[in-house]
Amino acid sequence: MSAAKQAFGELGERIAERWLRRTGWRVVQRRFRSGHRDIDLVMEREGLIAFVEVKARRGDRFGQPVEAVNWRKQ
């Protein structure tokens, strides 16, 4: 992955985290890694833990971000 692509992805993660924090979520872990798998954000609110996959896109040329979260990511 190119440095520019990685930087753009990290920017998307920071934007998502900021929005989640404003809506009452607390960061438990950023960029959690387990073997070859990763979770962008692990968040908590009122005892509920959420595993967040962030997809940053510059446009919809390749579809909506939700379409990039396949069964493996789910």
33-61 residue pLDDT tens: 989 888 999 999 999 999 999 988 887 88
Ordered alpha helix ranges (H), the chain: 3-22
Predicted confidence (pLDDT) at residue 1 exceeds the cutoff of 80: no
| CATH number of the domain encompassing residue 51 | 3.40.1350.10
Distance (Å, whole) CA 46 – CA 57? 30
The structural domain count of the chain equals 1
Is residue 41, in this structure, part of any structural domain at all?
yes
Is residue 73, in this structure, part of any structural domain at all?
no
Q: What's the pTM?
A: 0.81
Domain range enclosing 53: 3-68
